[in-house]
């Protein structure tokens, strides 16, 4: 099945108003590759300003609370992100699962809340180096995916991002064979829960994707795009990744 490639930059805790020219430049590059869906998940402080500059790229958030409002100091609801101009949001990133102790159930609740607020969702899963070295990566990550999957999961509002934790920001990536095997395992796991909808679901690769390796990674059968970290911070670096998807 042909699935439109999705390439999303995750700026993490990077970016000030002085960097909004990069958002505008990336939007122009996205317009040159209409076959690719392109987005930037930015710090919340930039979402409203960036929405006016996004061009052909969408703007997203990096996390949301599962409640719509309440006594949750420092948190943002999905409704707040949507009002600011976000169209997508990331949930379950390993940097939150590990550093913030987020559970699979919390990730599922965040995804459901985002969908209820009209946002589309990128749900992240991935394994540690210890799990990879022990030989149980596919089983562990597949189980994590199913435990994090919200009710009513559908390809028109949800995408999955496989991010081997040990590859994020390190410059290391799994072998192409390992990426192919994991993505196939995740699609098979999805099929046990959502049936034929699994064939429509986009599964992204994240973890040190850049202009040098993006074409090879996205040529793999079940890799439908990328969730890109450091290489998405400038148009000069992100542009080649977008081009590789198109």
Helices (H), the chain: 20-31, 44-51, 78-84, 94-99, 104-116, 129-134, 137-148, 176-194, 214-218, 235-245
Task: Catalytic residue, from 22, 37, 138, 163: name it.
Answer: 163
**Ligand-binding site membership of 10 (annotated):** yes
> What are the tokens at 43?
């710090």
Give catalytic status of residue 33 as yes or no: no
**Ligand-binding site membership of 64 (annotated):** no
**Ligand-binding site membership of 171 (annotated):** no
Contact yes or no for 134/166 (Cβ under 8 A): no
**Ligand-binding site membership of 230 (annotated):** yes
**Ligand-binding site membership of 12 (annotated):** yes
Distance in angstroms (rounded) separating the CA atoms of residues 70 and 99: 23
Give catalytic status of residue 127 as yes or no: no
**Ligand-binding site membership of 77 (annotated):** no
**Ligand-binding site membership of 157 (annotated):** no
Task: Catalytic residue, from 65, 93, 115, 183: name it.
Answer: 93
> What are the tokens at 227?
């969730």
Rounded to 10 degrees, what is the CA torsion of 162, 164, 170, 176? -80
Binding-site residues for substrate: 10-12, 169, 208, 229-230
Tell me which residues are annotated as active site: 93, 163
Binding-site residues: 10-12, 169, 208, 229-230
């Amino acid at each position: 099945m042909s699935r439109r490639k999705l390439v999303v930059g995750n700026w993490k805790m990077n970016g000030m108003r002085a960097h909004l020219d990069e958002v505008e430049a990336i939007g122009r590059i996205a317009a040159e590759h209409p076959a690719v869906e392109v987005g930037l998940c930015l710090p919340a402080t930039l979402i409203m300003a960036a929405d006016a500059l996004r061009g052909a790229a969408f703007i997203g958030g990096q996390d949301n609370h599962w409640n719509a409002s309440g006594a949750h100091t420092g948190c943002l609801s999905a409704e707040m992100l949507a009002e600011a101009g976000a169209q997508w949001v990331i949930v379950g990133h390993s940097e939150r699962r590990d550093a913030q102790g987020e559970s699979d159930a919390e990730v599922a609740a965040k995804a459901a809340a985002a969908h209820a607020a009209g946002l589309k969702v990128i749900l992240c899963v991935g394994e540690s180096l210890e799990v990879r070295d022990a030989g149980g990566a596919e089983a562990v990550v597949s189980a994590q995916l199913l435990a994090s999957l919200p009710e009513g999961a559908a390809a028109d509002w949800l995408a999955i991002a496989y991010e081997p934790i040990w590859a994020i920001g390190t410059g290391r990536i799994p072998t192409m064979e390992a990426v192919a095997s994991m993505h196939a395992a995740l699609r098979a796991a999805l099929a046990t829960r959502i049936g034929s909808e699994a064939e429509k679901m986009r599964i992204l690769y994240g973890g040190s994707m850049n202009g040098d390796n993006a074409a090879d990674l996205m040529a793999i059968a079940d890799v439908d795009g990328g969730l890109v970290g450091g290489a998405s911070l400038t148009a000069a670096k992100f542009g080649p990744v977008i081009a590789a998807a198109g």
